[in-house]
Amino acid sequence: MNYPELMSKRAQQIAPSPIRRFFDLAETMDNVISLGVGEPDFRTPWPIRQAAISTLERQSIFYGPNSGMLQLRQEIASYMERRFNLPYCPENELLVTVGGSEAVDLAFRTLIDPGDEVLICEPSFVCYGPLVSMADGVPVPLATKEENEFRLTAAELKAAITPKTKILVLSYPNNPTGAIMRREDYPEIVELLKDTDIFVLSDEIYCAMTYGTKHCSIAEFPGMRERTIVVNGFSKTFAMTGWRLGWMAAPAPIIEQARKIHQYGIMCAPMISQRAAVEALRSCDAEVDRMIEEYDRRRRFLLSRFAEMGLPCFEAQGAFYLFPSIAGTGMSSEEFCERLLQEEHVAVVPGSAFGACGKDNLRISYAYSLKHLTEAAVRMERFIAKNCK
Ligand SMILES: Cc1ncc(COP(=O)(O)O)c(C=O)c1O
């Protein structure tokens, strides 16, 4: 079989995730310390695991409703309202998905017609561009700037909008920069969008993880709820990455279309995870707060260590990433990461993996213990002292 000739050209044109390359290399080496993975190092809180165990003990695991268990949708609705001021109707405005990832994919497949442009604020998580392309849309990078604390400004948005713009992707708190959008950043952006036919995909997967300023969603603003799809999930907030559970919150006509795609492609999100997630939303606020306090401690530790080693770093206010600049080192982010891995066995991700505007940065995840971070910082400091003076 001539596979390249026979397989979908569109699929073949998609590049593999740039994050993977470094981890493949790291796996071949000994004594590597990684700050690369965006995954909580905490165990899933016990009440959640216990709910899963008791589900297995007491019940058969059958298919569930396509939209997700009603009881879970009710808990999600009450969580969104209680914590983030976003009221959604459990019956027809929520869809339970296989992680936030599936919700992002569904949003694009539900809204995009061929040739529609999707504005993606960069630096950004790696999935948006490829998923837009797979939906026959055109990803359009919209670079945010460190001098604006990586927040989107109305002027930048205005300059990027064309008659073909269909969706604006906002992803705050941001992976990889840790930037947040503040309430006062939105009114001018809302003013630009509210009389257009442009939708917003607001990926709020890190919304619980802010250090000081509380998360604010663009969907809260008058005129925005009807055009916004909010994506969220259990992976980060509740340390449940492998449970593969997330959700989409959107106006009923959007959910109705997205549900069909989900129904044919997935049937329903995993039922054990759904039952356990009910418990996550009901009884784990305190445990989540404890994890966030610990992330904050690590964030402050690394910021002060980077200052000591002369690595300029934007003071991230959310998620669990830092995005230090290596512009002064004379190396590209790929070269820096490759040499740091070879010489000191520390794996971090080049900022260029998250868009061209990240080419002078590194993404550092602090979803690792302080002990682990302390050792990584010692090695990085040694590398910088040796190579960057
Ligand atoms: C910004 C962002 N959105 C979505 C996801 C996907 O999360 P999941 O599919 O595990 O819910 C991630 C994972 O790293 C992410 O960083």
Rounded-to-integer distance, Cα 269 and Cα 384, Å: 46
Determine whether the shortest distance from the Cβ of 173 to ligand 1 is under 6 A.
Answer: no
Q: What residues form DSSP beta bridges with 167? A: 118, 199
In this structure, the residue with its CA closest to atom 14 of ligand 1 is 38
Model pLDDT, residue 30? 86
What is the distance of C-alpha 279 from the center of its chain? 23
**Which of the listed residues 205, 229, 238, 349 should we mutate to test ligand 1's pocket, taking the one with most ligand atoms within 8 A of CB?**
205
Model pLDDT, residue 19? 75
Q: How many angstroms does the Cα of residue 195 sit away from the middle of ligand 1?
A: 30
Q: How many angstroms does the Cα of residue 100 sit away from the middle of ligand 1?
A: 6
Determine whether the shortest distance from the Cβ of 177 to ligand 1 is under 6 A.
Answer: no
CATH architecture assignment, domain 3-44+286-387: Alpha-Beta Complex (3.90)
Write the CA distances from 92 to 28, 232, 377, integer angstroms: 48, 17, 48
Residue owning tokens 């992330």:
295
Which atom number of ligand 1 is nearest to the Cα of residue 98? 9
Q: How many angstroms does the Cα of residue 280 sit away from the middle of ligand 1?
A: 18
Domain definitions of the chain by residue range:
3-44+286-387, 46-283
pTM across the whole model = 0.96
Determine whether the shortest distance from the Cβ of 203 to ligand 1 is under 6 A.
Answer: yes
- Same fold for the domain at 3-44+286-387 and the one at 46-283? no
Q: How many angstroms does the Cα of residue 38 sit away from the middle of ligand 1?
A: 9
CATH number of 46-283: 3.40.640.10
Which atom number of ligand 1 is nearest to the Cα of residue 39? 14
Q: How many angstroms does the Cα of residue 338 sit away from the middle of ligand 1?
A: 25
Determine whether the shortest distance from the Cβ of 99 to ligand 1 is under 6 A.
Answer: yes
Which atom number of ligand 1 is nearest to the Cα of residue 246? 11
**Which of the listed residues 44, 101, 243 should we mutate to test ligand 1's pocket, taking the one with most ligand atoms within 8 A of CB?**
101
What's the 3-state SS for the chain?
CCHHHHCCHHHHHCCCCHHHHHHHHHHCCCCCEECCCCCCCCCCCHHHHHHHHHHHHHCCCCCCCCCCCHHHHHHHHHHHHHHHCCCCCCCCCEEEECHHHHHHHHHHHHHCCCCCEEEEEECCCCCHHHHHHHCCCEEEEEECCHHHCCCCCHHHHHHHCCCCEEEEEECCCCCCCCCCCCHHHHHHHHHHHCCCCCEEEEECCCCCCECCCCCCCHHHCCCCHHHEEEEEECCCCCCCHHHCCEEEECCHHHHHHHHHHHHHHCCCCCHHHHHHHHHHHHHCHHHHHHHHHHHHHHHHHHHHHHHHCCCCCCCCCECCEECCECHHHCCCHHHHHHHHHHHHCEECEEHHHHCHHHCCEEEEECCCCHHHHHHHHHHHHHHHHHHCC
AA letter at 150: F
Give which of 276, 245, 257 is closest to 102, Cα–Cα.
Answer: 245
What is the distance of C-alpha 357 from the center of its chain? 18
Rounded-to-integer distance, Cα 64 and Cα 7, Å: 34
Per-residue model confidence as pLDDT tens for the chain (389 residues): 999 999 999 999 998 887 777 777 788 888 899 998 889 999 999 999 999 999 999 988 999 999 999 999 999 999 999 988 899 999 999 999 999 999 999 999 999 999 999 999 999 999 999 999 999 999 999 999 999 999 999 999 999 999 999 999 999 999 999 999 999 999 999 999 988 999 999 999 999 999 999 999 999 999 999 999 999 999 999 999 999 999 999 999 999 999 999 999 999 999 999 999 999 999 999 999 999 999 999 999 999 999 999 999 999 999 999 999 999 898 999 999 999 999 999 999 999 999 999 999 999 999 999 999 999 999 999 999 998 76
Determine whether the shortest distance from the Cβ of 204 to ligand 1 is under 6 A.
Answer: no
